[in-house]
Structure 1
Amino acid sequence: MLNPKLHIGEGHSKIVVSLLGENLEKLSRQIKDILSSHRYVDIVELRADYFSDETLANLEQFLTALQEELNGIPILFTYRTKGQGGHGDYSSDEYFELLQRAIQHPAIELVDIEMLMYDDIVKPLIDLSQSEAVGVVLSYHNFEYTPKFKELMAIYTSMQEMGGDILKVAVMPETGHDVLVLLQAVFEAKQQVSQYIVGISMSELGKISRIAGGVFGSCITFGAITESAAPGQLHVDILKNQLEMYEGSQHES
């Protein structure tokens, strides 16, 4: 369930910026940069797979402090596993417990749940998120190649059936045709499923999907403040300007 204050689906694609660091001290510079670029940043993604063991052990206190530091910017909680391009090596039980703690914390507006996790984890996490009024970004990443169009559509359909609020697919292109295939899948999925859609073609080759994806149906895009969290991410200043060019400057967030 998405909080209306996120304004997902309204105006331009919402810009998400990732926080990457071990603890609040390490994140302080990034937070300062985000606050100075507040009008460019709609949502902050908290990448818990970068956290130290101490930060993870004291997650609730950390989230409370971070919420105060961010001064009201909504937080998306993500623990990206190594199999999906992240740093996380938690077991399925540890993954479930961590996301459960995050979902139940009042600082969290959105949680990323990897669709390729076991069914006995994903469904209970989605149900818990719904009971806590936390929006679910159901995600699929492929850092090796871009699946064919029919497979991409099947992934979006499976995500719809699983019940996420925002269905995110990020894939690696080998050619310009792969980028077109991804954008076509985004456009078609937008017409066929009831949830919000995100489609990202990664790397330099896929940058057009980050800045013009909203034209095809993507509701959010990911930008960088300092270090990029994924191949092909643009700095938020550039990203905001490009979004206005493709989607119209009248759609201010």
Structure 2
Amino acid sequence: MREEGGIRPLDDETRLGLYRRGIALNPAYVDVEFGSKIAQEVIELARKNGVGVILSHHDFNGTPGFGKLLTLLEDMEELEPEIIKIVTTANSLLDNLRVLRLYEHAENLIAFCMGPLGRISRVFSAQLAPFTYAPLDGEVAPGQLRAEELDRLRVMLFG
């Protein structure tokens, strides 16, 4: 979905076809947007094919209050994905703390903030989450750390 960070808008039928083709390749996980109209269908298709589900939510405008984040997490848990990913945009340093508090309420969670002010949450997420993504070169998303930077900061903070 474009509003969730997709490269270009695609209709649901086209997106579902792409998911079918991807799931047929038997990846470990497939990432589906929580707000998508086809989310439930993709989840069922993944389960039938032994593919894990990462259910994701992206907020490119900001970070809601903790109560709303917790409600979002609980709503996402109802679909029973293997992993939940919640990514918001940090407009203040405190936004990072709100998102990171979610780790107290869930296992198999990936949660961090985007943007320059969200960089520190990516370091903590690399320590707390089951896995993370960091490019080898360059910045794919605002505030993203390269793998080498992320690992150096993680070791510096956590040993």
Q: TM-score scaled to structure 2, two decimals?
A: 0.91
**Unaligned segments of structure 1, at least 5 residues:** 1-80, 249-253
| Other-structure match for 1:115 | 34
| Other-structure match for 2:4 | 84
Identify which of 175, 178, 181 aligns with 2:92.
Answer: 175
Q: Is the contact between residue 138 and residue 166 of structure 1 (CA under 8 Å) also seen in structure 2?
A: yes
| Other-structure match for 1:152 | 69
For 1:87, the aligned partner's letter is I
1:133 correspondence with 2:56: no
Distance of 1:166 and 1:126 partners within structure 2: 12
Shift in Å at residue 214 of structure 1? 4.7
Shift in Å at residue 239 of structure 1? 1.1
Q: Is the contact between residue 138 and residue 146 of structure 2 (CA under 8 Å) also seen in structure 1?
A: no
Shift in Å at residue 116 of structure 1? 0.6
Shift in Å at residue 174 of structure 1? 1.1
Identify which of 23, 35, 58 aligns with 1:103.
Answer: 23
| Other-structure match for 1:18 | none
Distance of 2:132 and 2:12 partners within structure 1: 28
- The structure that has the greater radius of gyration is 1
Distance of 1:117 and 1:142 partners within structure 2: 14
| Higher RCO structure, 1 or 2 (CA under 8 Å, sep 6+) | 1
| Other-structure match for 1:203 | 115
Aligned-residue Cα RMSD (Å) equals: 1.6
Distance of 2:157 and 2:12 partners within structure 1: 40
| Other-structure match for 2:104 | 188
Distance of 1:173 and 1:162 partners within structure 2: 27
For 1:175, the aligned partner's letter is S
| Other-structure match for 2:147 | 236
Distance of 1:138 and 1:221 partners within structure 2: 14
Q: Is the contact between residue 141 and residue 169 of structure 1 (CA under 8 Å) also seen in structure 2?
A: yes
Shift in Å at residue 155 of structure 1? 1.1
| Other-structure match for 1:14 | none
Shift in Å at residue 101 of structure 1? 1.1
- How many residues align structurally? 159
| Other-structure match for 1:218 | 129
Distance of 1:114 and 1:88 partners within structure 2: 15
- The CA deviation string for residues 182-241 of structure 1, in whole angstroms up to 9 with x for no partner, is 111x22322xxxx510101111111111112255x4222221223422211111111122
Q: TM-score scaled to structure 1, two decimals?
A: 0.59
Distance of 1:222 and 1:231 partners within structure 2: 13
For 2:105, the aligned partner's letter is A
- The CA deviation string for residues 5-58 of structure 1, in whole angstroms up to 9 with x for no partner, is xxxxxxxxxxxxxxxxxxxxxxxxxxxxxxxxxxxxxxxxxxxxxxxxxxxxxx
For 1:241, the aligned partner's letter is R
Q: Is the contact between residue 129 and residue 136 of structure 1 (CA under 8 Å) also seen in structure 2?
A: yes
Identity %: 28
Q: Is the contact between residue 210 and residue 222 of structure 1 (CA under 8 Å) also seen in structure 2?
A: no
